Chains A and B, each alone.
Chain A
Amino acid sequence: MKKIIVIGGGNAALCAAITAAQHGAKVIILESAPKELRGGNSQHTRNMRTYHPKPTKTLVENYPFEEYYEDLLKVTKGETNEELATLAIKSSVDLYYWMESLGINFQPSLKGTLSLSRTNAFFLGGGKTLVNREYQIAEDLGVEVLYEHEVLNIKLSNNEVSYLEVKLPNSNIEIFKADVYIAASGGFESNREWLKEAWGEHAKNFLIRGTKFNQGKVLKSLLEQGVQKVGKEEQGHAVAVDGRAPLYDGGIVTRLDCVPFGIVLNEEGKRFYNEGEDFWPKRYAIWGRLVASQPNQVGHVIIDSKSFDLFMPSVFEPTKADTLEELAQKLGLPIEQVIKTIDEFNGAVVDGEFDLTKLDNCKTEGLDINKTHWARRIDTPPYYGYTLRPGVTFTYLGVKIDKNARVYMEDGKPMTNLFATGEMVAGNILSQGYLAGIGMTIGGVFGRIAGEGAANV
């Protein structure tokens, strides 16, 4: 019986482990987190972008391959691996039905996410329920799950994995060996030292939206031993989150959806980008980066009471004041500059018909940075302010794989007994930008391919 070790415990790792076990292999999962915190970033996800030619139980209408591929090209500005992207998209529908056949439940798109009801399959109860079910299936198939087993090093020789150095729950280090290995242990977004190396000192002000266990140790170990890398260190998926979010695991509730309804000021009290460029789901991914490039990596959304009920509530109380002066003071912003910026903004607003369901004709004219939609004067107290910080979701630096999920060395040779999936390979398809829910698609599709490939080596 073939022995396979899967490194990591999120959706990609579990899809790989389940598939390998279904093909008759003896599978061991090494998950660095304890059981209560298992599942990597998958436990924070809510959906999976899924190509489908006809409606499913929960996905409406259809989402043709061509449209999905175009959506991907738009966010990556055309830079993707066509072969792998095509494979991931085409296989996403099979992944959906495979999951359904395993008893994984989906639900219709959530309130306030209508724009995704056609493209993204939502997991009932979210990613944690998905991961719970996947662990149950894996265990039912005889997969052995070892929690708090952190892989520190993956030793290679001659295009082959020789063994793993694993830190056990009692902190001892032990050698683990198998016939085949599947690396699915995520990116390096939780490793603050590495983030600083990649993005500069200001990365200290970044919040990490997901698990603290994605330290990138396996990734680093592979890249140091001549495995071919894909993606750039400074690329990843980051959004603007509430500045008061926890350092790790803040997840979905820390996001702020109010940007299109107000203006965003930096620490100097000045606007720095068109807040009404497009619908928020299409733009929120760029705001992490926008805020990251401002002084002290902070932005402040200012809205008035007209807009307060228009967006998903935030988990943290807004700063509230009856005058703009008071609000600026409470937010610690230069009062005079804030008043000046808002006066200029209010003066430039062209009245239109406000309509949050479409790109409306409320805009400003004559400013250096105009707001092109949903622009309304900020003049109705009470005023509210929310502080934004960059929240990193995941990094794109990864290892090069082929359509069989096999890992490649820098010299162009495939490794004989190593496959990879998940965040670790997302950079093969996502060079930049992000398309909501595609991370789960990539992990699941290449997880299944890796699992089958590993069982048949």
Chain B
Amino acid sequence: MFNKEDNLLRLKDASRAMEICNACRYCETLCPVFPQITQFRTFDEATLNYLSNLCHNCKGCYHSCQYAPPHEFNLNIPKTFSELRVDSYIKYAFPNILGKLFAKNGTVVSIIIALCIALLFIAGSYFNSADSLFTAYDGKGSFFKVIPYEVMTLVSALIFLHVIIAFIVGFRRFWTENGDKMSELTDLSLWKYAMGAVATLKHLDGGDNGHGCNHMDDRFTHSRKWYHHAVMYGFILTLISTTLAAIYHHFLGLQAPYDFDSLVVITGALGGILMVIGCVGLTYIKIKADPIPISQKLLGMDYSFIAILALVNITGLLLLVFRDGIYMPSLLCIHLGFVLAFFLIMPYSKFVHLLYRLGALLKYAKYVKNN
């Protein structure tokens, strides 16, 4: 599905599409892709990889396009770019061999999740007493009676290290592909623009008028932006929760689980709820949207990513609710299983859109600065 030959065909098609766009330019203020392409007359692979990652998949250009199918030019930029983006994810992935996971995400994800959960169950019962899985615990440190602290920390640290290395190598591959130097990233003004755009999802606003994007059909709405905000800020809240928990544990000597009115639980629960809302909303949009500008073969990858993200949060919220009962040990194992699976596949899942879209926005910031 995602082999070299298909990639070459897609690059050729994207290059043809960009040449048509460059001669038309009606979409110039819809999103950053269109002003950016006016700097080029031909489009090589590095440029197209950059442009496809700069595309936020808002579909405005498809619904605006006088050359969209059934026109014989058959321009379908959102679809072409979304497939090219995945090609680029595969290309930048570290280690390269794992890049292949992108193409098979649906099945692979479920297998990994299953394995992780099984491992946790085994680890839990091995290191503790055999009946610990269906015992009600209470009081501080109860989680570690199921899974020993050392196991939890070591496994998490290893996975975290793996994600960081994979991200740094992948980002570097993306950033330098079109000749940009890593040293240029020390320019803080680029970060200011890019982080601002990420924080506000500026480019899902449909251009300067801020009327929104075409998520379902030719009407402009802001729905996808709000659901995405829910996921993104929910994710950040859970990261804050985890960080706070680590600080409590290591520096304040306070052991999990924490009280319902503690900052750890409040930020974690709020983040979890936000992410579940966002995941449901984003799925609804995908199901209801006009199918033509969407790459059908990528839907499996999108759905599996949304599903695991939702499951991480649903299991986390369930754990919070039932943490004083006999289901705690199994829920803890299941929740940590999903969390581990999520982070394990993170560098080979849709999550990397964050990495490369941020990179593309940094490159675009450079273009804006120089013009």
Contact = CB atoms under 8 A, between A and B. Distances in A.
Nearest to B214: A132
B218 interface: yes
A251 B66 contact: yes
Contacts of A135: 218
A368 interface: no
Nearest to B61: A125
Contact of A125 (B19, B38, B64, B72): B64
Given A107-B207, A111-B35, A128-B63, A314 B27 contact: no
A126 B66 contact: yes
B260 interface: no
The secondary structure that dominates the B interface is: loop
B97 to A, nearest CB: 39
Given A127-B66, A132-B218, A313-B41, A108 B29 contact: yes
B48 to A, nearest CB: 16
B163 interface: no
B28 A107 contact: yes
Interface string A240-270: 0000001001011100000000000000000
Task: Give the size category of B's interface with A.
Answer: 20 to 34
A189 B160 CA distance: 65
Interface string A1-26: 00000000000000000000000000
Nearest to A309: B41
Contacts of A252: 23-24, 26, 66
Contact of A312 (B23, B63, B207): B23
Interface in A35-65: 36-37, 43-44, 46
Most A CB within 10 A of own CB, among B28, B63, B71, B207: B28
B219 interface: yes
Nearest to B219: A136
B211 A126 contact: no
Q: Which of B20, B23, B25, B64 has the most CB of A within 10 A?
A: B23
A9 B24 CA distance: 23
Contacts, number: 85
A133 to B, nearest CB: 8
Interface in A183-220: none
A132 to B, nearest CB: 4
A419 to B, nearest CB: 28
A103 interface: yes
A112 interface: yes
Contact of B25 (A110, A124, A127, A314): A110
A129 B220 CA distance: 10
Interface in A125-167: 125-129, 132, 135-136
Nearest to A47: B26
Contacts of B35: 111
A50 to B, nearest CB: 17
A147 B215 CA distance: 24
Nearest to A46: B26
Given A36-B70, A107-B207, A124-B30, A129 B63 contact: yes
A313 B38 CA distance: 9
A253 B23 contact: yes
Given A125-B30, A313-B22, A105 B211 contact: yes
Given A37-B70, A136-B218, A249-B71, A128 B29 contact: no
A312 B19 CA distance: 11
A105 B29 CA distance: 11
Interface in B19-51: 19-20, 22-30, 35, 38, 41
B23 A314 contact: yes
B26 A125 contact: yes
B90 to A, nearest CB: 30
Contacts of A108: 29
Given A103-B211, A111-B38, A252-B23, A128 B72 contact: no
B208 interface: yes
Contact of A253 (B20, B29, B207, B219): B20
B65 A128 contact: yes
Contacts of A350: none
Contacts of A37: 70
A315 interface: yes
Interface in B113-159: none
B170 interface: no
A453 to B, nearest CB: 30
A105 B209 contact: yes
Contacts of B20: 253, 315
A253 B21 CA distance: 8
Most buried by A among B24, B26, B60, B219: B26
26 contacts: A36-B68, A36-B69, A44-B66, A103-B211, A105-B211, A107-B207, A107-B208, A107-B209, A108-B29, A110-B26, A111-B38, A124-B29, A125-B64, A127-B26, A127-B66, A128-B63, A128-B65, A128-B66, A129-B63, A132-B64, A249-B66, A252-B66, A253-B24, A313-B22, A315-B19, A315-B20
Interface of B: 19-20, 22-30, 35, 38, 41, 60-61, 63-73, 207-209, 211, 218-219
Given A36-B68, A125-B64, 9 more contacts: A107-B28, A111-B28, A124-B30, A125-B30, A132-B63, A132-B218, A246-B73, A251-B24, A313-B23
The 3 A-B residue pairs whose C-beta atoms are closest, nearest first, are: A126-B26, A125-B64, A253-B23
